[in-house]
């Protein structure tokens, strides 16, 4: 597996997003099977694994910790803080990035991950009630104490990134980016290039849609968050088939799969971009990893960009409640 740099943190060119093994995409998967899948990823050269305390909550960190404990020195583990896991109380904010909470989450995550340090600790969502300088300062103290190695942000805007970076250098930003969500190109990617910050796209396969395996007849379990996402209504899926047809054409030309084209496109945008596609199946893992060796030529990228410019993706990427927690 090829390597890439997020700031000065070296990781495999493709990471593994572990959320869906425990949370978000239907019922939790079999624990033993998921441990085997994570270890299979390590054997295939993946060194970068992504989780968060809110995934479950807690169950995904416990899963990742158990799976990676025997190979801890070979891998980079990223996890996240910033949610109030007890926000079911009426009127309580779903966010909590108070410095004392960040430090408590770090200690709990270390226990669940069965490790003595968190390699990359992201603020999961920007908390408007806590100055980002205080957040960065709290993580700096954890870094100074040896409990955290690198600081990250997720779904943060340029101004927030700059303010945080001035207090504690930000190693990576994690935000959504794919063939059907390209907003980061306007302001985020230029700022990251200027500051030397790596980019970790989540949902690089469009939450599965860009694989071509989902159409307007697909039914989602009530525990699958796509059930409430505007972009995944049957009407939106039908309208967005034009994008899948385009990707299919390129896949046929390259003798690749649509998923590999989607991932290779993300990888081709910058050498400091490391996508973290998730999967719960070994065959899909191997398919995704094949994208790291798929080269798209400048002419192919230009042709793809020209074709994409004629397609308008239908549907918002989040429902209103979730959208309130991003773009701060």
Q: Using one digit for the tens of pLDDT, what is the confidence trace for 62-85?
A: 999 999 999 999 999 999 999 999
**pLDDT-based confidence at residue 92 (cuts at 50, 70, 90):** confident
Strands 3-6 and 9-12: antiparallel
User: Does 326 score more than 90 pLDDT?
Assistant: no
Please say if 318 is a catalytic residue.
Answer: no
Instruction: Quote the pLDDT of residue 39.
Output: 98
In three-state secondary structure terms, 297 is coil
φ, ψ dihedrals at 291, nearest 5°: -65, -25
Report the alpha-carbon distance of residue 102 to residue 262 in Å, rounded: 35
**Candidates 25, 55, 122, 177; catalytic one:** 55
Domain boundaries, the chain: 3-205+270-293
State pTM to two decimals: 0.97
Strand partners, 76: 48
* 207/196 Cα distance (integer angstroms): 28
The highest-level CATH class for domain 3-205+270-293 is: alpha beta
CA distances from 106 to 20, 134, 148 (A): 22, 16, 8
User: For all residues of the chain together, what is the average pLDDT?
Assistant: 96
The answer to whether the beta carbons of residues 211 and 291 sit under 8 Å apart is no
Taking the C-alpha atoms of residue 12 and residue 267, their distance in angstroms, rounded to an integer, is 12
Q: What's the residue count for the chain?
A: 328
pLDDT band at 87 (very low <50, low <70, confident <90, very high): low
For 235-289, write each residue's pLDDT tens digit: 999 999 999 999 999 999 999 999 999 999 999 999 999 999 999 999 999 999 9
Q: Are 278 and 18 in contact (CB under 8 A)?
A: yes
Q: How many whole angstroms separate alpha carbon 185 and alpha carbon 192?
A: 10
Residue 91's pLDDT is 59
Return the pLDDT at 327.
Answer: 52
Task: Assess contact for 51 and 121: CB atoms under 8 A.
Answer: no
* pLDDT above 90 (res 137): yes
Please give the average per-residue pLDDT across 303-314, as a whole number.
96
């Amino acid at each position: 597996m090829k390597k890439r740099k997020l700031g000065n943190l070296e990781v495999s060119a493709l990471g593994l997003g572990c959320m869906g093994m425990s949370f978000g995409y239907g019922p939790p998967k079999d624990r033993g099977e998921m441990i085997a899948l994570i270890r299979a990823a390590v054997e295939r050269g993946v060194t970068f694994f992504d989780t968060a305390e809110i995934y479950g909550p807690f169950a995904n960190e416990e899963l990742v910790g158990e799976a990676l404990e025997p190979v801890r020195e070979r891998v980079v583990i990223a996890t996240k803080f910033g949610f109030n896991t007890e926000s079911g109380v009426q009127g309580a904010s779903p966010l909590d990035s108070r410095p004392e909470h960040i430090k408590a989450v770090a200690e709990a995550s270390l226990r669940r991950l069965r490790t003595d340090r968190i390699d990359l600790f992201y603020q999961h969502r920007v908390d408007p009630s806590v100055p980002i300088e205080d957040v960065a300062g709290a993580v700096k103290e954890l870094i100074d104490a040896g409990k955290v190695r690198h600081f990250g942000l997720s779904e943060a805007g340029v101004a927030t990134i700059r303010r945080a970076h001035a207090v504690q250098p930000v190693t990576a930003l994690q935000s959504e980016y794919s063939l059907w969500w390209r907003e980061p190109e306007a302001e985020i990617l230029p700022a990251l290039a200027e500051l030397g910050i790596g980019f970790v796209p989540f949902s690089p396969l469009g939450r599965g849609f860009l694989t071509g395996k989902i159409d307007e007849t697909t039914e989602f379990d009530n525990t699958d968050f796509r059930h409430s996402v505007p972009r995944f209504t049957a009407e939106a899926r039908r309208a967005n088939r034009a994008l899948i047809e385009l990707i299919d054409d390129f896949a046929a030309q390259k003798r690749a799969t649509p998923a590999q084209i989607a991932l290779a496109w993300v990888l081709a945008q910058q050498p400091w971009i490391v996508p973290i596609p998730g999967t719960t199946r070994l065959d899909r893992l191997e398919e995704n990893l094949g994208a790291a060796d798929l080269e798209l030529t400048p002419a192919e990228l230009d042709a793809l960009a020209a074709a994409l410019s004629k397609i308008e993706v239908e549907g918002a990427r989040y429902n209103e409640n979730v959208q309130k927690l991003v773009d701060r």
